[in-house]
Amino acid sequence: MIAVDDLITLVRHYNPKTDEALIRAAYDFGREMHEGQTRHSGEPYFTHPVAVAAILTEQRLDDATIVTALLHDTVEDTKASYRTVEERFGREVAELVDGVTKLTNLQLSSSETKQAENFRKLFMAMSRDLRVILVKLADRLHNMRTIKAMRPDKQAQKARETMDIYAPLAGRMGMQWMREELEDLAFRVLNPEARASIIRRFITLQRETGDVVERITGDMRLELDRAGIEADVFGRAKKPYSIWRKMQEKQMGFSRLSDIYGFRIITRSEADCYAVLGVIHQRWRAVPGRFKDYISQPKSNGYRSIHTTVSGRDGKRVEVQIRTQAMHDVAETGVAAHWSYRDGVRSENPFAVDPARWISSMNEQFDAEEDHEDFLEAVKLEMYADKVFCFTPKGDVIKLPRGATPIDFAYAIHTRIGHACVGAKVDGMRVPLWTRVKNGQSVEIITAGGQMPQSAWLDIATTGKARAAIRRALREMDRDRYVKLGRELARWAFEHVGKRATDKALEAAARTLRLRDADEVRARLGSAELTASEVLRAVYPDLVPAGEAEVARERAVIGLGADQGFNRARCCQPLPGERIVGITHRGQGVVIHAIDCETLSRYDSQPERWLDLHWHAGKHPAAYAVTLDLTIGNDAGVLGRICTLIGEQKANISDLTFVDRKPDFYRLLVDVELRDAEHLHSVLSALDAEADVAAVERYRDPSRSGDKREEP
C-alpha cells in the first residue's frame, strides 16, 4: 500500500501548494474507517482507495478530487456518514463522496429499461460535478487491474459492464489511455484465448521482422532533423483489443492487418504540426481517406490532433498522430484537463473544454427523449460514435457520428431544415437520403414547403437528435388521427361494460395513468401505446375481467384508414409485437412487412406508398402463420415428439413440407400459427432445447414476396 508521505509526494510533484494536512487527515480517516475490512484478495481494503487516489494524481487533479478518492467508499461501506465527512472535510468533498456513492449503487448492467433510467441518473450526477465520474472511472480501473481475485461469474459481469459503459465513457471524455486500458483488461476476462493469440502473433512478428517500432521511430526522427523541426517521436504497437476489434470489423486475419502500429509526434507549436505533416507525407505515401485534421476541427471534448496513415517499411501501414504538448495534455486527460494543476496553480490549457458546457451539450441531446428505450438508444449512439466532419454549401462545418446520413446532416443544421428535407446533394451529386456521408464531403439539403418527416426516416437517421425530432413530428402529425381513433376505441370499450367514455371519465383515467389530459389518453389509446383494458382498469378496476379479450383481426393493425384492410407479407411473415411498415398496392389494399424485410428496398423510390403502422398492443389470437426451418434426427418417433412439443407451446401446425431427406437427418419447413413475437420465441426456445433438433430458425424467403401472393 502506498504510504501517505509517498501519496503527498505524488501530488506535490505537480501541485507544490497542495494542502498536505487535508490529504493526511483524509488518509488517516479512511484507514480508520476501513480498519478490519479486506478485499477479495485478502489485502486490507484501504489499499484500494489509496490506489484510486494515486491513479488520479497521474491526471494532476486538485486536492478535493484526491481526498474524495481516499474517502469514496467510507459512506457506503463504513459507519461514516455524509454529515461526518462534511464536518471534517467540507461540503465540496462531502458532495463529491456522496455522488460517487450514488453512482456505485447504480446497477448499470441491469435490464434495458432500468439501464436507461440509470444512464439518466449517471448523466445527472455528471452534470452536478464531472469529478464524480473521474473518481468512478479510476475506481473501476483499479478494480479491473485486480479483478482476478473475484469469482469468475463476477469477473465476467464486471468486464462486460466495463466494456459496454465505462470504457466508451472514458473515450467520450477524451481519456483515451484509460479507455484502451479498460478495454484491454475487460478483453482479458471476456476472451482470454483471443487476447493470448494476438500477443503470441506479435511475439512471432517481432521475431521475424525485428523491432519495427524502433526502426520507424528512428526514420521519423531522422527526417525531422533534416527538416530542422524540433519534436519528440514515440511509437508503440496497438493494444490487443484494438487489434481484435479491427480484425472483426474488417473481417480479416492478423497477417492481413496492416495498421497495427501507432506513432505520436509532439511538436513545439501548432505551425510545426503542419510542417511535420508535410515531412511525413513527402517521405512516406499517404493512405487515401485516412487523414483527419482535429486541430482545425476539434472534437467536442477538446481533443486536437492531426491523424494520418502512411505506408511505412515493407508496405506496413502506420498511424501517425501529430500535436503540440498542450494538445497532448488534453488528449491524455480529456475533460479532466480542466482541473489539472501545474506548479501549484490551475493549468490554463487553452484547449481544455469547459466541463459544464460539455455535459450540457450531452444532456441537451437526451432531454428530448421521453421513452426509456429511445433515451438509452440516443445515449449509446452518442457515446460510441466516431465523428465525421462535413461542410454546408457556405463552408460551415457540421460534426456527425460515423455512419450518419443527409437526414442527420439536415437535422444538425436545424429541425426545420430536417422536417422539410426532400433530397440531398453530396459534392454536387444527387444521392439517396440513406447515403453514408464521409469526412470532408460537402452536403446540400434540398427542401420543399409542405414536406413532413416520414416514418421510414427513423431507420435512416443515426443521431439521437434527428431520431428524437422525427419521433416528435410523427407523433404530432398522427395525434389528431390517433385522438379520433382513440375516442372510438374508448367508446366501444366503455359501452362493453355498460359505461360511457365521457371527458370526466377519461380525465380520471389520465390522473391515474399520470397523463396530461383526456386527449392524451385517447391519443395513446389510438396509437396502441395503451390498451382499452388499461384505460378501463384505471377508472373501473372492479369491472375489468381478469382475462383480456383477444384483439379481432380487423383491429389488429393501428394506422390504417377506415376503408383499408391488410395482408401479411409472405416474405417476412410479421408478427404482433414486431415493428412493421405498410406498403399500399393497387387492388390489394395494404401489405404489411417487418421493418427489416429485404423486400422493402424495392419501394425505396416510392415513399408515397409507405405507411407507418403498429400492431395493437392487446392480446392476439394464435392465428398468424410463421414458417420454421427445422433439421431433425431421422429416428423413429422424432417427428411425432416435435409435433407434440409444438402443441405443448399452444401453437397449431397448419402445414409441413419435407425439403431434404438424408440418412441421418430430415430438413423440413413447418408452418405454425402463433399469437405474437413472444410466442414465436417460446416455440423456438422449446425446439432448440430438444436433443433431436439439430437446427431451428425462422424461415424468410424474399422470393415469396410477389404482390399478388401476399397472405392474410
Looking at residue 272, its pLDDT comes to 93
Q: Which domain holds residue 85?
A: 4-190
Question: Which of 247-251, 574-578, 634-638, 699-703 has the least mean pLDDT?
Answer: 247-251
At 693, is the secondary structure helix, strand, or coil?
strand
Are both 160 and 253 inside the same structural domain?
A: no
Q: Specify if 648 maps to a domain.
A: yes
Are both 21 and 83 inside the same structural domain?
A: yes
Residue 70: pLDDT band with limits 50, 70, 90: very high
What CATH number is attached to the domain comprising 37?
1.10.3210.10
Are both 75 and 215 inside the same structural domain?
A: no
Residue 711: pLDDT band with limits 50, 70, 90: very low
Mind giving me the DSSP string for 403-456?
T--HHHHHHHH-HHHHHTEEEEEETTEEE-TTPPP-TT-BEEEEE-TT----GG
Looking at residue 405, its pLDDT comes to 92
Residue 330: pLDDT band with limits 50, 70, 90: confident
Looking at residue 629, its pLDDT comes to 92
Looking at residue 421, its pLDDT comes to 92
Looking at residue 712, its pLDDT comes to 38
Handedness of CA 114, 117, 121, 126 (dihedral sign): positive
* pLDDT reading at 416 higher than 70: yes
Q: Specify if 457 maps to a domain.
A: no
Looking at residue 475, its pLDDT comes to 72
Spatial separation of the C-alpha atoms in residues 131 and 336, rounded to whole Å? 8
Q: Which of 76, 117, 676, 690 is flagged as catalytic?
A: 76
Q: Specify if 239 maps to a domain.
A: yes
* pLDDT reading at 709 higher than 50: no
What CATH number is attached to the domain comprising 652?
3.30.70.260
Looking at residue 225, its pLDDT comes to 92
Q: Specify if 698 maps to a domain.
A: yes
Q: Which residues of 57-90 are buried (b: 16+ CB within 10 A; e: fewer)?
A: bebbbbbbbbbbbbbbbbbeebebeeebbbeebe
Higher pLDDT, 160 or 257: 160
What is the phi/psi pair of residue 92, to 5°? Answer: -55, -50
421-440 residue pLDDT tens? 999 998 888 888 888 888 77
Domain endpoint, select from 190, 212, 237: 190
What CATH number is attached to the domain comprising 206?
3.30.460.10
Are both 57 and 160 inside the same structural domain?
A: yes
Residue 120: pLDDT band with limits 50, 70, 90: low
Are both 181 and 221 inside the same structural domain?
A: no
Residue 607: pLDDT band with limits 50, 70, 90: confident
Q: Which of 19, 20, 58, 77 is flagged as catalytic?
A: 77
Are both 209 and 237 inside the same structural domain?
A: yes
Are both 35 and 176 inside the same structural domain?
A: yes
pTM, whole model, 2 decimals?
Answer: 0.52
What is the phi/psi pair of residue 413, to 5°? Answer: -70, -55
What is the rounded average pLDDT of the residues 49-72? 89
Q: What is the dihedral of CA 254, 257, 258, 260, to 10 degrees?
A: -60
Q: Specify if 178 maps to a domain.
A: yes
Residue 707: pLDDT band with limits 50, 70, 90: very low
Are both 180 and 216 inside the same structural domain?
A: no
Contact 188, 172 (CB under 8 A): no
When divided into structural domains, the chain yields a total of 3
Residue 111: pLDDT band with limits 50, 70, 90: very low
Looking at residue 445, its pLDDT comes to 92
- Across the chain, mean pLDDT equals 80
**Cβ neighbour number for residue 482 with a 10 Å cutoff:** 23
Higher pLDDT, 384 or 447: 447
Give me 276's grid cell.
511535420
Query: Which amino acid belongs to residue 312?
Result: G
Query: Which amino acid belongs to residue 49?
Result: P
608-661 residue pLDDT tens? 788 878 887 677 888 899 999 999 888 878 888 888 888 888 888 888 888 888
Looking at residue 303, its pLDDT comes to 79
Are both 15 and 58 inside the same structural domain?
A: yes
Q: Specify if 49 maps to a domain.
A: yes
Q: Specify if 430 maps to a domain.
A: no
SS3 content of the chain, % helix, strand, coil (to 5): 50, 20, 30
Domain endpoint, select from 164, 190, 216: 190
Contact 578, 617 (CB under 8 A): no
Contact 639, 667 (CB under 8 A): no
What is the rounded average pLDDT of the residues 275-303? 84
List, in sequence order, every residue forming a beta bridge with 73; answer none if it has no partner.
none
Q: Specify if 162 maps to a domain.
A: yes
Residue 540: pLDDT band with limits 50, 70, 90: confident
Are both 150 and 206 inside the same structural domain?
A: no
Identify whether 76 is a catalytic site residue: yes
* pLDDT reading at 219 higher than 50: yes
Mind giving me the DSSP string for 543-593?
TS-SSPPBPPGGGSEES--TT--EEE-TTT---TTS-EEEEEETTTEEEEE
* pLDDT reading at 383 higher than 90: no
* pLDDT reading at 276 higher than 90: yes
What is the phi/psi pair of residue 34, to 5°? Answer: -95, 5
Looking at residue 438, its pLDDT comes to 81
Residue 271: pLDDT band with limits 50, 70, 90: very high
Looking at residue 548, its pLDDT comes to 54
Identify whether 35 is a catalytic site residue: no
Higher pLDDT, 294 or 387: 294
What is the rounded average pLDDT of the residues 366-370? 50
Are both 96 and 146 inside the same structural domain?
A: yes
Domain endpoint, select from 190, 209, 241: 190
Are both 131 and 209 inside the same structural domain?
A: no
